[in-house]
């Protein structure tokens, strides 16, 4: 759950671990993914199409992971924290039946030319089979 | 890579760096779309949900998660023909779709995002109107064999503007794999 006051920038240390977040993926998760991200590409809702295209089942799209990673960062940084940069790389699929576990580490800390207090986070999502199913790096502005 | 793909590079080259005409999002930025996005990942952040809390926050109003950028710019699922025709015409003319049409001739029709990087310059949200995007192909790799099939990596870059006040609010760099899924090794 998100709190108004997140971590304080001056108390963050490079190497700090964020608390992990667990997300169970069901077929309904995939349905909500389609509604929420508006992505109607069949590989995310049609198992026959997904398997015919080399995937083991329908799988979560990049936009859904962007949402989960943004949520994860803001829950740590507080609701006035703001994602400034987000990179997401997909190494393996997240399919119905998978349990995703999100881990994060503080990789850097800086103040930009506008005086904004920033932290760099490395985030990785395990899908139960592969520890780095999704790998992300992001810049979070703390406030 | 085999002879089947000879000449493909030359056919794709004209589309690289060619900026498409600005494309407008199908719908304006709306609170309902923001909430559907947040619901998908169970994001409870009140600056997306609660008008009063959002108004008192440093943002001063409800905003969209900046990382909802791509979702908020997805094309309409369906449009009546009198609106669809114009969208189809714009799409067919854009360099990316023309490059995709060339790749389709070589059997590469399945698209998947491999790597996506976005930079958010300013908050945006309901009330900002539609979003406009300017996009261009930055590069296309030689044909490669991947675990899902044979294809190319296409990198494109996008700038996003709000309709209201025409603010540049975000930039994105996207790497997609466009491959021949019919020859899947699975």
Residues A74-121: pLDDT tens digits? Answer: 999 999 999 999 999 999 999 999 999 999 999 999 999 999 999 999
* pLDDT tops 90 at residue B186: no
**A1 inside domain:** no
In a domain, A99, yes or no: yes
Q: Give pLDDT, residue B3.
A: 82
Reply yes or no on whether the pLDDT at A135 is more than 80. yes
A6 belongs to a structural domain: no
State the pLDDT at residue B128: 98
Of A67, A82, A87, the CB nearest to B41: A67
Taking residues B129-139, what's their average pLDDT?
95
Judge whether B6 is closer than 8 Å to chain A, CB to CB.
Answer: no
Answer yes or no: is A58 within a domain: yes
In a domain, A4, yes or no: no
Number of domains in chain A: 1
Residue-wise pLDDT tens digits, A29-59? 999 999 999 999 999 999 999 999 889 999 9
Q: Which phi and psi angles does B176 have, rounded to 5°? A: -115, 150
Report yes or no: B103 and B153 within 8 Å, Cβ to Cβ: no
For the whole model, what pTM was predicted? 0.89
Q: pLDDT band for position B178 (50/70/90)?
A: very high
Question: Is A16 an 8 Å CB contact of chain B?
Answer: no
User: Residue B79: its pLDDT value, please?
Assistant: 92
Nearest residue to B155 (alpha-carbon basis) of B113, B107, B104 = B113
Domain that holds residue A76: 12-142
Report CB contact under 8 Å: A79, B47. Answer: yes
Residue A7, domain member (yes or no): no
Percentage of chain A exceeding pLDDT 90 = 93
The closest CB to that of A53, out of B58, B110, B119, belongs to: B110
Which uninterrupted H or E stretch holds A118?
A: strand A117-126
Q: What is the mean pLDDT of residues B143-148?
A: 91
Specify whether the CB–CB gap between B176 and B153 falls below 8 A. Answer: yes
Name residue B112's beta-bridge partners. Answer: B177
Residue A59 belongs to domain with CATH number? 3.10.129.10
Q: Domain for residue A89, yes or no?
A: yes
- A23 vs B contacts (CB less than 8 Å): 41-42
CATH superfamily assigned to domain B3-183:
Hotdog Thioesterase (3.10.129.10)
E strand residue ranges, chain A: 17-24, 82-90, 99-111, 117-126, 134-142
Residue B65 C-alpha, separation from nearest chain A C-alpha, in angstroms: 8
> With an 8 Å Cβ cutoff, is A33 touching chain B?
yes
- Predicted confidence at residue A2, as pLDDT, reads 60
Query: Hey, what are B83's tokens?
Result: 């609106």
Please state, in angstroms and rounded to a whole number, the distance separating the CA atoms of residues B4 and B101. Answer: 16
Closest CA to A3 of B59, B45, B48: B45
């Amino acid at each position: 759950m998100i709190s108004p006051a997140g971590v304080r920038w001056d108390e963050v240390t490079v190497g700090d671990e964020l608390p992990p977040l667990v997300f169970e993926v069901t077929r309904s998760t995939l349905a909500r993914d389609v509604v929420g991200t508006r992505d109607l590409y069949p590989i995310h809702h049609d198992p026959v199409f997904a398997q015919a295209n080399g995937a083991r089942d329908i799988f979560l799209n990049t936009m859904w992971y962007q949402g989960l990673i943004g949520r994860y960062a803001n829950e740590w940084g507080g609701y006035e924290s703001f994602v400034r940069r987000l990179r997401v790389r997909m190494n393996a699929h997240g399919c119905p039946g998978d349990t995703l576990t999100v881990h994060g580490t503080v990789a850097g800390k800086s103040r930009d030319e506008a005086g904004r207090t920033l932290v760099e986070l490395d985030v990785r999502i395990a899908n139960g089979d592969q520890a780095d199913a999704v790998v992300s790096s992001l810049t979070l502005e703390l406030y | 890579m085999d002879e089947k793909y000879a000449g493909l590079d030359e056919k794709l080259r004209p589309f690289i760096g060619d900026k498409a005409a600005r494309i407008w999002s199908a719908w304006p930025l709306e609170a309902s779309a923001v909430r559907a996005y947040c619901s998908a990942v169970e994001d409870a952040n009140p600056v997306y949900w609660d008008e009063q809390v959002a108004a008192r926050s440093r943002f001063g109003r409800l905003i969209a998660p900046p990382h909802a950028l791509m979702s908020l710019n997805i094309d309409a699922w369906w449009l009546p023909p009198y609106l669809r025709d114009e969208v189809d015409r714009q799409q067919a003319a854009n360099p990316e779709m023309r490059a995709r049409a060339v790749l389709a001739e070589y059997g590469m029709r399945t698209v998947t995002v491999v790597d996506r990087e976005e930079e958010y310059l300013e908050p945006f949200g309901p009330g900002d109107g539609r979003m406009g995007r300017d996009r261009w192909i930055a590069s296309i790799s030689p044909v490669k064999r991947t675990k899902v099939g044979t294809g190319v990596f296409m990198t494109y870059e996008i700038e996003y503007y709000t309709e209201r006040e025409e603010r540049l609010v975000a930039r994105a760099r996207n790497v997609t794999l466009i491959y021949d899924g019919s020859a899947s090794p699975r």
